[in-house]
Structures are given as C-alpha cells and as structure tokens.
A and B are shown apart, each in its own frame.
Chain A
Amino acid sequence: MAYSEKVIDHYRNPRNVGSLPKDDPNVGTGLVGAPECGDVMKLQVRVNPVTRVIEEAKFKTFGCGSAIASSSLATEWVKGKTVEEALQIKNTEIVRELNLPPVKIHCSVLAEDAIKAAIGDWKRKSGLAEAAPASAPAVAPAQE
C-alpha cells in the first residue's frame, strides 16, 4: 500500500517521541491498542493545572506507519490546546490530514482514543474525573 507523503514525513521524522514521568501529578498517560494489527500506542500529556493547557505531549507507538503518523500528528495537535479543546479532536480530522485509506482508519481511531485516555488519566489524577460530566460525548462513534 502506498503511504501518503504526510504519513511518510511523520514516520521518518516523528514529532514528540519519548515519554514523560508517569508519576508526575500533571502528566496523563493513555495506553491503547488495536487488536486487528497488534499496534500499541502510548500518548502522554503534561497539563498546566491552572490554565488546563497541554504544555507537552509525547508518544511512543509500536505499529505500522499510519499508527505512528497518527499518534505523531495527535501530539502536535494537542500541544497548546486546553484539555477541553484537545478532547474535540476527531479521528476523521486525522484521516483527512494524513490521507489515510479506509483500511487504516483504525489507526486514527486509536490516536483519538489515546488522546482521550491520556486526558482521562490526568483528570482522574487531578480528582476531576467525576466533577466533569462535560466529557459526556467523549467517545464519539468512529465512523467515516
């Protein structure tokens, strides 16, 4: 399968690879996987507790080029956003940006799930999990 140029770019020069200290109270960690292909994706965010802005994001993904590109793009997009804004990122936007073919849509779904999981983890750590029913539409149906 031919990868789009953007996928290849993110694959060759992945942005924000690495990890953040898991035990840091301001760091949220999302670990998700796709059983179809065995991909695993870890995405971490460091949130400013006052402004709720994501100041740093790191990822590490074991998987195909599209999974790596999707998570690399996801870290780029969440940086500088508030957690609420970051939760609005939809997998379909990733699909569009990276030109993912239908068989690779699940990679973008994984990236969206990873963002939500990381922020969810941060909220839990900060004791915000229950206090935030605003995240009701958090799991949007992934359809394209």
Chain B
Amino acid sequence: MKETQTLTASDLRCWSCGAAAGRAHFCPCCGKIQPLPPDTDYFAFFDLPRRLGLDERALEASYHELSWRLHPDRFAQASEAERRLSLDRSAQLNDAFRTLRDPVRRVEYLLWLAGRRREGEARQQAPPELLEEVFALNETLEELRQARHAGGEAAAEASLRRQLEAEQQKLETLLAAVDAELAEAAAAWDRALDSGAAAEPLLDRLNEILNRRSYLRNLVENIRQEMAAD
C-alpha cells in the first residue's frame, strides 16, 4: 500500500449527469451504470470492509442481485459504452464473488492486496520444519510409482500403501489444525481492524499459515491421486 490513492470516492462523478457517484455501480441520481474505478478491489466492489469474516449468505445475495442488475442482456438497447461497462462490471463481479466467497482465497486476496503475495515481490518461505518430511514422503510416493510400474512384488506395494495411508492421515490431521489456526488468525485480523490496532504482524502470520496450508494440501492431494491411480 505504498502508492497514495489519488482517487477518493468523492471525486468520482457520474459520466452522464455529473452527480457524485462514488464507487456505486449505478449513479444514485440518474441511475446510469458507472465505469469501474481502476483501484476498486473486490471488497470495495461489494462495498465491504477488508474483513476476513463475512456473511457468506449476504454476499451470495448481493452477488445474485448484482448479476441481475449488471447483466449485459439488460443493456442490449443501451449505448455501446454502457454495454462495455456492463461487461466490465459483470466480469469483475464474477471474479470478486469467486474470490471472496471462499475463506481461504479471501485471505490470499487480502495478502495480495497488502503486497504480501505478489510474484517476484515478496518471497514465500516454505516451512522448514516440514521440508524433511515432504521430501521423504515424495520419495515414498516415487517408490510406490516405481513398484507399480515394475509390476510384481505385491507385498512391497501393499507395505508402501500402508505407509502412505498412515502418512495421509497424519497430514489430514495437520491440515485440520492449520485450518483452525487460519480461522483464528483471521478472526484476530478482524478484531484488530475493528479496534484500530496494528494489524500488520497479523498479515505475516496469515501468510505463514497459508504457506503451510498450501504445502500440506499439495501433499494430501498427491497422495490421494497416487492411491487412486489403479
């Protein structure tokens, strides 16, 4: 959040009647669809604060309402420019909804907005305490693949499978714990936001939790695929 925002909602005026339109989808005065201000993030699109806890049913309800109101079909008779605005806003609506409705993607997005997860900018660190385990696990997976490829040695394959099943269970347990940790950190972020306390360190924590989570998810997914392979 280094660049100072030059656009403030009060600067935004309706292209048609000149009334103050803010970030509204439609001009409050003449009702015309408004262009999307370039710095409108997904939270702002739904007129939401950058909180991680949100009412998912209310979000879905506004999504349905907006998809109807912004739908290009409703602008079939409008000017070319308005048809484009409806397309722009509809596209943004879908992206925003898909991102915000998922609690994990919501965190990812918040971190992205805060500059924590941009490719080439902030480097992501893998959890070092997991690396050894991840490596060993990948080796077991590879052994299983090779054993299957070579055929025969059913006993060896069965033992590898048992090993992986145990590993998978362990990972699922870890994953559940990480999810709980994520939910807790997200709630802490909201509390800090509400009270105006410094929330920056929480972003680092969320980022770290998310890293561990994606690592575990990948592993669980790899094992699942491997087990289902035959």
- What is the interface of chain A, defined by CB distance below 8 A to chain B? 31-38, 40, 42, 60, 62, 102-103, 105-106, 109, 142-144
Contacts and interface: CB of A to CB of B under 8 A. Distances in A.
A34 B123 CA distance: 9
Nearest to A36: B124
Contacts of B219: 38
A34 B126 contact: yes
**Which of under 10, 10 to 19, 20 to 34, or 35 or more describes the interface residues of B?**
20 to 34
Contacts of B210: 35
The main secondary structure of chain B at its interface with chain A is helix
A35 B129 CA distance: 13
21 contacts: A31-B132, A32-B131, A34-B126, A35-B124, A35-B125, A35-B126, A38-B134, A38-B217, A38-B219, A40-B131, A40-B134, A40-B135, A42-B135, A62-B135, A102-B120, A105-B119, A105-B120, A106-B124, A109-B123, A142-B123, A143-B120
Contacts, number: 57
Interface of B: 119-121, 123-127, 130-132, 134-135, 138, 142, 210-212, 214-215, 217-219, 222
Nearest to B210: A35
B79 to A, nearest CB: 38
Contacts of A34: 124, 126
A62 B222 CA distance: 11
A40 B138 contact: yes
A29 B227 CA distance: 31
Contacts of A144: 120
Contacts of A103: 119
